Amino acid sequence: MDFSLSDEHRMVQQMVRDYCEKEVVPIIKEADRTQTMHPSILPRLGALGILGICLPERYGGQGFDYLSLGLVCEELEACDTSLRVVMSVHMGLNSLAILQWGNEDQKQRFLTPQAKGEKYAMFGLTEPGVGSDVANMASTARRDGDDYLVNGEKMWISLATKAHHILWVARTNPERPNPHDQLSAFLIETDSPGVTRGDIHGKLGVRAGSTGWVNCADVRVPAANRLGEEGEGFKIAMSCLDNGRYTVGSGAVGLIRASLEASVRYANSRKAFGREIGKHQLVQQKIARMVRDYEMGRLLYLRAGWLKNQGKRNTKETSLCKWFATDASFEAANEAIQIHGAYGYSDEYDVERYLRNSRGAIIYEGTSEIHQLMQAGYALGYREDGDLRCELPAYDEAVWRG
Ligand SMILES: Cc1cc2nc3c(=O)[nH]c(=O)nc-3n(C[C@H](O)[C@H](O)[C@H](O)COP(=O)(O)OP(=O)(O)OC[C@H]3O[C@@H](n4cnc5c(N)ncnc54)[C@H](O)[C@@H]3O)c2cc1C
């Protein structure tokens, strides 16, 4: 067992850390206050190669492994959750799905420009009436010659007004007895006639990011844009979540680290009862718990990343990582505010933003309740993964750099 990071991994970490410190820290508070995604974010993530970090060079990516993606997410979210959300949807829920399920034509048309950062991608599963209960969605796609006619509404979609295409899941085969076999996945360009979209304002967190809605009204989508076979939409969506949850979990570890570092700084400088508050044992207890959760979360995402590199199924491990790290990041941010006292309650310090940002991750990409059902299901023998062809292709440096 080798827990050490390679020189390349450390280089990737440092590159993202430098970018965040120099370019994002100065603008993030204002972006959060004004609830706008700063126009530099997506182009800079693209220019730095971050949007294609773990994709093969022949598709415009950087050729790094899947562990690098986790490291990037940790660094991005240590700065602001809205940055990591970009990686969750553009890479975790979309690009990796095209790598896994797309044919060569789709990889050329969609994956390559988004790996280069020329185009941005999003993921549309949630609808106004359906979130966790995916198979009950209302969106439909009806075959019409060489096209499909897509109708439906997607809600709570990250990058809704920024992305150039959406991985859209809709019902194509209502006649099939198992609802899980009735769905299909499509890559829909947002400039297609009939696509409308807008932003959602007034969110609790991720205010420096973009969240919105996307609707399709009789949108004509070429059959060549269907990802996988008809009826594979549910399976594809679940495989997307395996990757998205990995980015959310590793990102949440970054948020724990940010809460820990802010708390240590403050506890070493603020005095109460004649000494630094860090000298008081109840403050130490909070810090100790953050250390524990940071290390635990990190081990969980390193294991998930390792499994991905091996091309092994990791649904269970990724779910555990996501559930643990997101719950823990909320707890860490909450305790960081406590350590900061009243100052933590204002946006003069970052910790109140950390708390607001941490809350959403307990809801998206599987609520904590859904992850508990999954973990209990595995333990009780009610759930097993079987052979669903849901794994990413194993990382092979010669192929990724070839
Ligand atoms: C900031 C943000 C960004 C998002 N980005 C995207 C995106 O890019 N793409 C996308 O498709 N979606 C996105 N979502 C939506 C997100 O994935 C859904 O909100 C999530 O899946 C939960 O669905 P829901 O909100 O409809 O809640 P519901 O599924 O209606 O659940 C409501 C409550 O009931 C509980 N519940 C449901 N079923 C069970 C059960 N069987 N047992 C116990 N409890 C249960 C849930 O845990 C929850 O507490 C985003 C959400 C947010 C907040």
Q: Are residues 218 and 280 in the same domain?
A: no
Q: What is the pLDDT of residue 388?
A: 63
Contacts 24+ apart (CB under 8 A), 265-273: 266/339, 266/340, 266/343, 266/349, 267/339, 270/340, 270/341
Model pLDDT, residue 391: 84
Q: Is the CB of 27 under 6 A from ligand 1?
A: no
Per residue in 233-256, pLDDT tens?
999 999 999 999 999 999 999 999
If you take atom 16 of ligand 1, which residue's CA is the nearest one?
Answer: 364
Residue numbers of the domain that contains 291 = 235-400
Positive or negative CA dihedral for 218, 131, 251, 310?
A: negative
State the average pLDDT over residues 342-365. 97
CATH number for the domain harbouring residue 25: 1.10.540.10
Residue 159 lies in a domain: yes
Residues 248 and 224 in one domain: no
Question: Residue 40: pLDDT above 90?
Answer: yes
Give me ligand 1 centre to Cα 364, in Å.
Answer: 5
When computed from its CA atoms, the radius of gyration of the chain, rounded to whole angstroms, is 21
* Same domain? 61 vs 210: no
pLDDT at 136: 97
The answer to whether position 2 is within a domain reads: no
Distance CA 128, CA 113 (A): 30
- pLDDT, tens only, 11-28: 999 999 999 999 999 999
| Residues in a beta bridge with 55 | none
Residue 161 falls inside a structural domain: yes
Residue 1 lies in a domain: no
Q: Ligand 1 atom closest to Cα of 159? A: 8
Q: In this structure, are 215 and 244 located in the same domain?
A: no
Residue 385: the pLDDT is 81
3-state SS class at 218 = strand
What is the structure's pLDDT at 2?
81
What are phi and psi for residue 118, nearest 5 degrees?
Answer: -80, -25
| Prediction pTM value | 0.98
Please tell me the total count of domains within the chain.
Answer: 3
Distance 207 CA to ligand 1 centre (A): 18
User: How buried is residue 271: exposed, middle or buried, by Cβ count under 10 Å (0-12/13-18/19+)?
Assistant: exposed
Q: Count Cβ atoms below 10 Å from residue 5 Cβ, excluding itself.
A: 15
Given 233, 267, 293, the domain boundary residue is 233
Query: What's the gap in Å between 266 CA and the centre of ligand 1?
Result: 35
Mean model confidence pLDDT for the chain: 97
Mutate which of 37, 190, 200, 363 to test ligand 1's pocket (most atoms within 8 Å of Cβ)?
Answer: 363
Give the CATH number for residue 380.
Answer: 1.20.140.10
Same structural domain, 224 and 243: no
Same domain, 276 and 338: yes
Half-sphere exposure of 194 (CA within 13 A, CB side): 14
Beta bridge partners of 221: 148
Q: Which of 233, 248, 279 is the last residue of a domain?
A: 233
Place 307 in a pLDDT band, splitting at 50, 70 and 90: very high
The more confident residue out of 63 and 391 is 63
Q: Is 235 strand, coil or helix?
A: helix
Answer yes or no: is the C-beta of 363 below 6 A from any ligand 1 atom.
Answer: yes
Give 379-389 pLDDT, tens digit per residue: 999 998 866 66
Q: Where residue 181 sits, what CATH number does that domain have?
A: 2.40.110.10
Kindly state whether residues 374 and 396 are assigned to the same domain.
yes
Report, as an integer, the average pLDDT of 269-273: 98
Segment 373-376 long-range contacts (CB within 8 Å, at least 24 positions apart): 374/315, 374/316, 374/319, 375/316, 375/319, 375/320, 375/323
Cβ(332)–Cβ(233) under 8 Å?
no
User: Per residue in 327-336, pLDDT tens?
Assistant: 999 999 999 9
Whether residue 45 sits in one domain with residue 75: yes
Q: C-alpha 390: how far from its chain's center?
A: 18
- Residues 230 and 222: their CA atoms lie apart, in Å, by 13
Q: Domain for residue 292, yes or no?
A: yes
Q: Are residues 216 and 289 in the same domain?
A: no
Same domain for 262 and 167?
no
| Among protein residues, the one whose CA lies closest to atom 53 of ligand 1 | 360
Please tell me whether residue 151 adopts helix, strand or coil conformation: strand
Residues 247, 139 share a domain? no
Predicted local distance difference test score (pLDDT) of residue 387 = 61
Domain termination site, one of 120, 150, 183: 120
Q: Quick one: pLDDT at residue 1?
A: 74
Same-domain status, 254 and 364:
yes
> What pLDDT score was predicted for residue 60?
98
- Give the pLDDT confidence of 110-156 residue by residue, as tens digits: 999 999 999 999 999 999 999 999 999 999 999 999 999 999 999 99
